[in-house]
Structure 1
Amino acid sequence: MDRLIYTSMTGANHTLNQKATVAQNLANASTTGYRAESNAFRAVPVYGDGLPTRAFVVDSTTGADFTPGAMQTTGRDLDVAVRGSGWIAIQLDDGKEAYTRNGSLQVSPNGILQTNGGHKVKGDTGIISLPPDTRITIGIDGTVSSVPITPQPNTVAQVGRIKLVNPPEDKLVKGTDGLFRLKDGGEAPVDARVKLVDGTLEESNVNVVHEMVNMIDLARQFDMQMKMLDNAQNNAQKASEIMLVRV
């Protein structure tokens, strides 16, 4: 009887975790460059003094869907999207490196190129500083150039190059902030094969219809697991009544 309780109890708990993941994906269905999260579970034997005849349901992997999202043309100079595989490297507040597909960039009051979330965009040689009173353009290779805002803008200066990387997907881990990092905490090397599309943003790769169907399926799974717990309780009560009658 307790085997059924172990399986149903842990299964119901992790079904709630899956529902939280689906809710997170739905909440970010319109977030630029968002990568949908995914969960996988497996059964693990419970080891104790006796034989491992009981099993728990535990998290096996928590990963992400790396399928590229649709491209949306904006025409804005500081909007860029990664074409195909690859990432834009950014610097976190603690100095560590992270990666994003959200190419909605902006210039801080101090003239620093950063994401719309306030993270500094890394260049091949460090942070990219931009001169004042200039128009900024970004090339397909990540080259950042400035053009003076004058009646006759005839001087183009290269001020840096966005660090574009493409580490193996199995080496990346997604943080609670939606950014990706290397599992070993290191920094990925520059990959010259990664290209950008200017005046474009990548939409979230969340499939809303799929997630809604998944949410309904998880709700039914949870109901089934709760019914199994009720059945286990009823069976235990019936067994107790039979024992009392025999006594």
Structure 2
Amino acid sequence: MDRLIYTAMSGAKHTLEQQANASNNLANATTTGFRSQLNTFRAAPVVGDGLATRTFVVDSTAGSDFSTGTIQDTGRALDVAVQGKGWIAVQTADGGEAYTRNGSFKMNANGILQTQSGLSVVGDGGPISIPPDVTVAIASDGTVSSIPTTGVPNAVNVLGRIKLVNPDEKSLMRGDDGLFRVTNATQAPADANVRLATGALEGSNVNVVESMVNMINLSRQFELNMKLMQTAESDATKATQILSLS
């Protein structure tokens, strides 16, 4: 009876948490460069004297789905998409470094190349500064160049190169802000083999149909765990009645 109650109770709890992750994946089905989150269940025995019959079900996060999304042309000069494996390095608010697949950039009031959320894009010499009155071009290797829009437009100036990395996916951990970081708190080295598609953005890799089916399965799994706890309660009540009669 103990095993049934503990397994069903913890299973229902973690099923709700997985339901939240599935809902988050669906909510980001149209988010640029989003990576869907994966979850699995595993059994964990309760440690302690007299608890050998009790087992918890815990949520074991398998990580993220790193498969690529569909690349869509936008024609915008400050839009880039990573082709194949690789990440774009950005500077976080605390001065650290994180990685994203969202290549929708903008220039702030000071001409600094940033993401749409306001994080500076990391270049080979720090943040990339873009002067006024220029046309910006981003090459496939991440090189950012400018051409003056005034005077004779024949002087191409290299402003910097976007830091592109390709760390081991097993070493990446998703943060609460949706950005990925290396688990040992180090910075991934630049990888010259990573290439960008300019004038394009990568869509989310969330499979909407699969996520909806997963949510239905999780809902049924939660109902099953609740019925198991009701069965355990009913069995305990009947056992108490029998013992009281004897």
Tell me which interval the TM-score lies in, with the shorter structure as reference length. over 0.9
Structure 2 CA distance for aligned equivalents of residues 158 and 52 of structure 1: 67
Task: Supply the AA of the counterpart residue of 2:70.
Answer: A
User: What amino acid is aligned across from residue 71 of structure 1 in structure 2?
Assistant: I
1:127 aligned partner: 127
Question: Aligned residues: percent identity?
Answer: 59
Residue aligned with 2:122, SS: strand
Counterpart in the other structure of 2:70:
70
2:194 maps to what in 1?
Answer: 194
Measured against aligned partners, the alpha-carbon deviations of 1:26-67 in whole angstroms (never above 9, x if no partner) come to: 000000000001112210111111362211011222411000
Distance in 2 between residues matched to 1:47 and 1:144, nearest whole Å: 57
Aligned counterpart, 2:111: 111
| Distance (Å, rounded) in 2 between the aligned partners of 1:229 and 1:51 | 19
Corresponding residue for residue 40 of structure 1: 40
- Summarize the alignment of residues 116-195 of structure 1 with structure 2, pairs less than 5 Å apart: 116-150=116-150, 152-195=152-195
Preserved CA contact (<8 Å) 2:2 2:53: no
Gaps of 5+ in 2: none
Q: Extract unaligned runs of 5+ from structure 1.
A: none
Is 2:124–2:163's contact at 8 Å kept on the other side of the alignment? Answer: yes
The alignment's TM-score, normalised by the length of structure 2, stands at 0.98
Q: 2: CA distance between counterparts of 1:46 and 1:34?
A: 36
Q: Secondary structure at the match of 1:34?
A: coil
Q: What is the CA-CA distance between 1:136 and the residue it aligns to? A: 0.6
Calculate the aligned-residue CA RMSD, in Å. 0.9
Shift in Å, 1:152:
3.6
SS at match of 2:109: coil
How many Å separate the matches in 2 of 1:51 and 1:94? 45
Which position in structure 1 is the counterpart of 2:215?
215
Relative to structure 2, which stretch is displaced further, 55-64 or 187-196? 55-64
Paired letter, 2:176: T
Describe the SS at the equivalent of 2:196. Answer: strand
Q: How many residues align?
A: 246
The alpha carbon displacement at 1:200 in A equals: 0.4
2:209 pairs with 1:229:
no
Q: Runs in 1 of length 4+ with deviation above 6 angstroms?
A: none
1:68-112 Cα deviation digits (max 9, x unpaired): 000110000000000000000000011000000000000111010
> More displaced, 149-158 or 22-31?
149-158
- Normalising by structure 1, report the TM-score: 0.98
**In structure 1, what is the equivalent of residue 60 of structure 2?**
60
